[in-house]
């Protein structure tokens, strides 16, 4: 109860007992420090028999009220060092709350309260039903078509962009967006800010339809662990002036847990990218950016000109998907609209000629299996993880599929490329050894950068921009170092 509501001069013990006499259920919220919380003198609060929390909980237990422990912030049920009056608490079945299952947990709590109070049995009386339908009603009912269930983990772009922006995309039949990964500016934050600055510069394009609608992040938002304490410096601050929404799939570092600061894997990512509603998170600090409302760490973004299927390839090197996500991928490929571009995004790349090699045979097998099972090929595959830029073309099923590694978004250390057998740099086009039909078309391993992509009904184009590097003026313009165009109808690069 709210102790500030107790009237002046009232006996707070009697007030608490009176309030609990009218209660059928009591919720005890327990965090990690619940047992060891101290007062101003450093004494443990639960050892004070006059402490309000101790009084309320012990009184509820004594009176036989249904006491529901709710564990938050990764807390566990206290089993030891409980005062005598609180010992029965450890026998009460707790409800664990997590950021990932918040809405489900709330429903569980509501249901438990309903059972404890008997309110769940009290239902509103149903409206009166006609004894029989009219002929018109019967015909209308019989003509209704089968209604499929909504696909899992989908977010329409129209739910995020302003109505005017969506109208501009539909009218121009043109969707422009940024993409990059491995942006977390650990150690040297200046580089990430330079990349972000040049991304922002492209919003000065004279024609509104040439301005990016959003930034699709390919993972590793923060380094080296996905802790909440890194989000302000490595995400909110660098993109404080980026004037468009930012979507993301997690990278391996986003899911990694610091052993010195235990937390749930992806806890901070989910809080900042998979919120139920847009809101200002604690990590955002003085940034005006609100949490994104993606439905899940792996998810699908629906837009008028492209479908984006984003995977979470987890933490192990080379990536890993469980059976559920594998099945989900096949279903998403199979059900993706055929009248628009199909873009597949993942953090771990299928192909890479970096040094050391960082291709993923596992993800290659996952993709091949999903394409075979669904009968559908993505038009392009985006990845990061390797801190440089590489563009491959794979010929499969009579079509050319670009595979991009866009991993130089801000993390300071760039990844070198392999060399030819004579020690010389790779010359493109370069056929990838041991990979039939896979060719390295272009790469940039000595400067950070980002990709700007444009999608129309007939074509998907990409332009990779490298930002000023060492020995160059930081204010110099970003340089376009690679471009490609894919004809969507013929599935050929032009």
Residue-wise pLDDT for 136-182, tens only, equals: 554 554 444 444 445 689 999 999 999 999 999 999 999 999 999 99
Closest CA to 249 of 170, 314, 158: 314
Closest CA to 469 of 125, 61, 194: 194
Q: How far apart are CA 390 and CA 386, in angstroms?
A: 9
Q: How far apart are CA 59 and CA 54, in angstroms?
A: 8
For the chain, residues classed under CATH 3.60.21.10 are: 154-493
Number of helical (H) and strand (E) elements in the chain, helices listed first: 11, 19
* pLDDT recorded at residue 61: 83
Report helix, strand or coil for 30: strand
Q: How far apart are CA 135 and CA 5, in angstroms?
A: 61
Residues of the chain falling short of pLDDT 50: 1-5, 120-131, 133, 138, 141-149
Q: Are 489 and 339 in contact (CB under 8 A)?
A: no
Q: How far apart are CA 256 and CA 184, in angstroms?
A: 14
Residue 93 Rama label (left phi>0; alpha psi -120 to 50; beta): beta
On the 0-12 / 13-18 / 19+ scale of CB atoms within 10 A, 202 is middle
Q: How far apart are CA 169 and CA 24, in angstroms?
A: 55
CATH superfamily of 154-493: Metallo-dependent phosphatases (3.60.21.10)
* pLDDT recorded at residue 60: 83
- 28-31 contacts, C-beta under 8 A, 24 or more apart: 28/57, 28/67, 28/68, 28/69, 28/70, 28/89, 29/70, 29/72, 30/69, 30/70, 30/71, 30/72, 30/75, 30/77, 30/78, 30/94, 31/72, 31/73, 31/75
Q: How far apart are CA 264 and CA 293, in angstroms?
A: 19
For the chain, residues classed under CATH 3.40.50 are: 3-121
- Decide yes or no: CATH 3.30.310 for domain 3-121: no
* pLDDT recorded at residue 126: 36
Which pair of structure tokens corresponds to residue 484? 């490609």
Q: Are 195 and 410 in contact (CB under 8 A)?
A: yes
């Amino acid at each position: 109860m709210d102790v500030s509501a107790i009237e002046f001069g009232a006996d707070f013990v009697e007030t608490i007992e009176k309030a609990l006499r009218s209660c059928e259920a009591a919720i005890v919220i327990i965090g990690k420090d619940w047992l060891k919380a101290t007062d101003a003198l450093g004494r443990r609060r639960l050892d004070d028999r006059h402490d309000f929390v101790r009084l309320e909980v012990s009184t509820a237990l004594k009176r036989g009220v249904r006491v529901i422990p709710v564990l938050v912030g990764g807390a566990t049920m206290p089993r030891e060092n409980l005062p005598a009056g609180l010992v029965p608490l450890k026998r009460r079945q707790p409800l664990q709350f997590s950021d990932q299952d918040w809405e489900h947990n709330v429903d569980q709590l509501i249901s438990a309260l309903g059972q404890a109070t008997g309110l769940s049995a009290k239902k509103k009386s149903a409206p009166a039903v006609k004894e029989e339908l009219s002929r018109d009603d019967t015909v209308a009912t019989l003509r209704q078509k089968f209604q499929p269930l909504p696909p899992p983990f989908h977010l329409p772009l129209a739910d995020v962009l302003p109505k005017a922006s969506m109208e501009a995309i539909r009218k121009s039949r043109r969707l422009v967006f940024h993409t990059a990964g491995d942006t977390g500016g650990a150690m040297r934050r200046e580089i990430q800010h330079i990349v972000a600055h040049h991304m922002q510069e492209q919003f000065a394009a004279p024609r509104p339809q040439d301005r990016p609608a959003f930034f699709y992040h390919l993972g590793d938002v923060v380094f080296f662990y996905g802790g909440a304490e890194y989000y302000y410096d490595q995400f909110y601050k660098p993109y404080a002036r980026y004037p468009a929404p930012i979507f993301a799939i997690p990278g391996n570092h986003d899911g990694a847990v610091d052993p010195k600061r235990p937390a749930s894997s992806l806890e901070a990512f989910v809080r900042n990218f998979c919120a139920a509603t847009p809101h200002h998170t604690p990590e955002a600090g003085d940034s005006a950016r609100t949490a994104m409302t993606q439905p899940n760490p792996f998810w699908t973004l629906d837009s008028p000109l492209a479908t984006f299927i984003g995977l979470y390839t987890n933490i192990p090197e080379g990536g890993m998907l469980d059976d559920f996500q594998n099945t989900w991928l096949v279903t998403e490929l199979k059900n993706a609209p055929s009248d628009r571009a199909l873009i597949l995004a993942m953090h771990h790349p299928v192909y890479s000629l970096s040094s050391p090699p960082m291709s993923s045979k596992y993800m290659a097998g996952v993709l091949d299996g999903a394409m075979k099972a669904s009968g559908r090929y993505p038009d392009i595959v985006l990845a990061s993880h390797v801190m440089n830029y590489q563009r491959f073309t794979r010929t499969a099923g009579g079509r050319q599929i670009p595979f991009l590694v866009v991993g130089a978004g801000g993390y300071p250390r760039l990844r070198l490329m392999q060399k030819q057998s004579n020690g010389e740099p790779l010359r493109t086009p370069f056929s990838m050894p041991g990979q039939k039909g896979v060719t390295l078309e272009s790469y940039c391993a000595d400067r950070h950068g980002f990709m700007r992509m444009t999608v129309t009904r007939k074509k998907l184009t990409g332009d990779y921009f490298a930002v000023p590097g060492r020995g160059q003026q930081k204010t110099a313009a970003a340089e376009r170092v690679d471009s490609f165009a894919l004809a969507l109808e013929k599935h050929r690069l032009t």
